[in-house]
């Protein structure tokens, strides 16, 4: 299959941006060669799905989370459709790379990195450039794209990298970060980010268990009625809940296009 046939199909399924990257051009500073996952892999096809403005801009964290879950579920379905098309038409294997979990919780990453760096793959496949927040900025959608990918045995040429400089160094993302995770330019301090963005993640659960141990039965009963415990319980079956999207929401790049209703132009 040709790249444009794949791109056309992916866009018809609902993806908002599609880029192609030969593995020879893929570079990630921390992660292994993708061929360790799929030995005959040749390429990555990177997909961008726009996040919902209403969910990102809401002051209600449940609306923020709902928007995140919606784009994750939708992108998973689109990945499956494109992967199945590739395997049916070409006989080449294809495997989805999701935007978040499941994650490898073992050393050395301890769940702080995916199997493939979707940020680097998106930039290297021409879908954007890095901003001050160390996320990808797309020329039309700004920071409001969620990325996934397909790792495939199909041999595809890389799309040219984007040459336009999109970040204006306004510093709004740095100021808006409650965890001060962006204070050092060129680096995101992951643990600071996670403490602010995932209060009901593993660190929060461990802290609550420690608070529970050794308490009297009456104190334990009160802790079990605490809204924090109920939120931790809810997160245990919903999955990772990001409650902070500030660095994305405040980024002004692409704002005029969003306000002008330009979502449908790909």
Strands 145-152 and 94-97: antiparallel
pLDDT at 264: 43
Is 169 among the domain residues? Answer: no
Phi-psi region of 75 (alpha: psi -120 to 50; beta: other; left: phi over 0): alpha
- Burial profile 105-125: b = 16 or more Cβ within 10 angstroms, e = fewer: eeeeeebeebbbbbbbbbbbb
Q: Which residues, listed in sequence order, are joined to residue 48 by a DSSP beta bridge?
A: 17, 147
CB atoms within 10 A of CB 201: 19
pLDDT of residue 104: 64
Higher pLDDT, 137 or 255: 137
SS3 call for 262: coil
- Between CA 182 and CA 192 the distance in angstroms is 9
Does 55 reside within a domain? yes
- Is 67 within the bounds of a domain? yes
Q: Record the tokens describing residue 171, joined without a space.
A: 């510093």
Over residues 87-109, the pLDDT tens digits come to 999 999 999 999 876 766 676 66
Let me know if residue 41 belongs to a domain. yes
- The CA distance from 53 to 64, in Å, is 10
Residue 91 lies in a domain: yes
Placement of tokens 């941006």 in the chain: 17
Lowest mean pLDDT among 46-55, 62-71, 238-247: 238-247
- The helix or strand, by DSSP H or E, that contains position 130, with its residue range, turns out to be strand 129-130
pLDDT 10s digits, 184-204: 999 999 889 888 888 777 778
Distance of CA 166 to the CA centre of its chain: 19
Indicate whether 174 pLDDT > 60.
yes
Give the distance, in angstroms, between the CA of residue 259 and the centroid of all CA atoms in the same chain.
Answer: 23
- pLDDT tens by residue, 5-37: 999 999 999 999 999 999 999 998 777 789 989
Locate all alpha helices (DSSP H) within 112-216, ordered by sequence: 118-124, 172-176, 190-197, 202-212
Residue-range definition of the domain harbouring residue 151: 3-163
Asked if the model's pLDDT at residue 261 lies above 60, the reply is: no
In a domain, 144, yes or no: yes
Q: Has residue 87 been placed in a domain? A: yes
Contact between residue 154 and residue 160 where contact means Cβ atoms under 8 Å apart: no
3-state DSSP call for residue 97?
Answer: strand
pLDDT the model gives residue 121: 97
Q: What is the number of structural domains in the chain? A: 1
pLDDT value, residue 263 = 47
pTM for this model (two decimals)? 0.85
Residue 238 lies in a domain: no
Distance CA(185)–CA(40), nearest Å, equals 37
Neighbours of 19 (CB within 10 A): 27
Q: How many Å apart are CA 266 and CA 258, to the nearest integer?
A: 13
């Amino acid at each position: 299959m040709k790249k444009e046939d794949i791109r056309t199909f992916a866009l018809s399924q609902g993806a908002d941006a599609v880029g192609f990257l030969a593995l020879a051009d893929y570079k990630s500073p921390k992660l292994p060669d993708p061929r360790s996952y799929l030995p005959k892999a040749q390429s990555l096809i990177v997909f961008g799905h726009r996040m919902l403005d209403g969910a990102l801009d809401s002051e209600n964290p449940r609306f923020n989370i709902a928007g995140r879950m919606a784009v994750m579920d939708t992108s998973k379905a689109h990945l499956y459709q494109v992967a199945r098309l590739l395997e049916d038409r070409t006989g080449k294997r294809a495997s989805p790379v999701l935007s978040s979990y499941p994650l490898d919780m073992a050393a050395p990453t301890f769940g702080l990195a995916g199997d493939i760096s979707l940020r680097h793959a998106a930039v290297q496949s021409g879908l954007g450039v890095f901003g001050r927040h160390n996320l990808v900025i797309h020329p039309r959608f700004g920071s409001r794209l969620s990325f996934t990918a397909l790792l495939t045995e199909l041999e595809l040429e890389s799309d040219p990298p984007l040459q336009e400089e999109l970040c204006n160094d306004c510093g709004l993302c740095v100021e808006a970060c409650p965890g001060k995770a962006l204070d050092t330019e060129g680096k995101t301090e992951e643990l600071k980010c996670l403490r602010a963005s995932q209060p009901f993640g593993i660190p929060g659960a461990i802290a609550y268990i420690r608070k529970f141990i050794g308490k009297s039965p009456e104190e334990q009963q009160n802790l079990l009625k605490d809204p924090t415990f109920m939120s931790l319980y809810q997160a245990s079956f919903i999955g990772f809940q990001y409650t902070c999207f500030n660095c994305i929401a405040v980024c002004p790049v692409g704002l005029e296009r969003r306000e002008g209703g330009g979502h449908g132009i790909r």
